[in-house]
Amino acid sequence: MDGGRDRDFTDVGRALAAPARSVMVGLLMDGTARPAGELARAAGVGAPAASEHLAVLVAAGLVTSRAQGRHRYYALAGPEVADALEALGALAGPAPVAGMLRSREADRLAAARFCYDHLAGRLGVGLAEACVGQGWLDGADVLALTDAGAAGLRGLGVDVDGALAARRPTTRACLDWTERRVHLAGALGAAVGARFLDAGWVARTSGRGLRLTPAGQDVLREAWGVELAPTVGGAGSGRA
């Protein structure tokens, strides 16, 4: 596409216009690859309809697919798609929540989740604001890594050097759709997210939410001065 021309949003808009497809891309926002059957069940549609919906998302460039054995797995096309969807979420109205299980899942997403490969929700926003407050990241709307931040994150086991060498931007400010404030994305955001998961500071729950563990609560308090309750749901509140 000619970079000097306006963008045509109609294909992407049509791809996201069906509620079933909205549910599917929402489930893939944690960066996982999921089989068509799981996406169909989450969206409440049958296998033939799910195949049609997924074909639309693939054609629009939002989702990729790959065959593995007897199944076909679907994932978001990349971190830039996740960032765009996260930003759109700040503009979109909330999806209707019916039943206790759905309500708990919504609470988990607001408390802590992966936005593709980086931390989001109150956890991600609280962490980003704390890093700005102690000079590890520069600029609340830019989140550029400082020398102090590189040293501090290395000390916590984050692969800072790998993030600096990555081909994608080292840091990006990603607008959080539940908090309406930014969290850290980019290669460094992914490295922080990987460290939290590998160290057991967060654990995956059903869907795409995360559970902050007691060990994670301790790290947040000691390294950043952030208080978040180590529970699923939205009991805690972050402060930097």
Q: Is the model more confident about 179 or about 39?
A: 39
Give per-residue pLDDT as tens, 165-197: 999 999 999 888 788 889 999 999 999 999 999
Between CA 94 and CA 49 the distance in angstroms is 24
Q: What is the pLDDT of residue 214?
A: 93
* Structural domain 10-77, CATH architecture: Orthogonal Bundle (1.10)
Note the pLDDT tens digit of each residue in 92-151: 655 555 444 455 666 777 889 888 889 999 999 999 999 999 999 998 778 999 999 999
pLDDT of residue 235: 36
Give the C-alpha separation, 80 to 174, whole Å: 10
- Specify the DSSP element, H or E, that contains 84: helix 79-89
Give the number of other CB atoms < 10 A from CB of residue 103.
12
Residue 224 scores a pLDDT above 60: yes
Q: Where are the domains of the chain?
A: 10-77, 103-224
Average pLDDT score over residue span 209-235? 80
What is the model's pLDDT at position 99?
44
CB burial class (10 A; 0-12, 13-18, 19+) of residue 155?
A: exposed
Quote the pLDDT of residue 93: 59
pTM for this model (two decimals) = 0.72
Pairing status of strand 144-145 against strand 34-35? unpaired
What pLDDT, on a 0 to 100 scale, did the predictor assign at position 106?
63
**pLDDT given for residue 234 in this prediction:** 39
Share of the chain above pLDDT 70, in %: 85
Burial class (CB in 10 A: 0-12, 13-18, 19+), 172: buried
Q: How confident is the model at residue 88 (pLDDT cuts 50, 70, 90)?
A: confident
Q: Is residue 237's pLDDT more than 50?
A: no
What is d(CA 185, CA 78) in angstroms, rounded to the nearest whole number? 13
Backbone angles phi, psi at 81, to 5 degrees: -70, -45
Hey, what amino acid is at 108? R
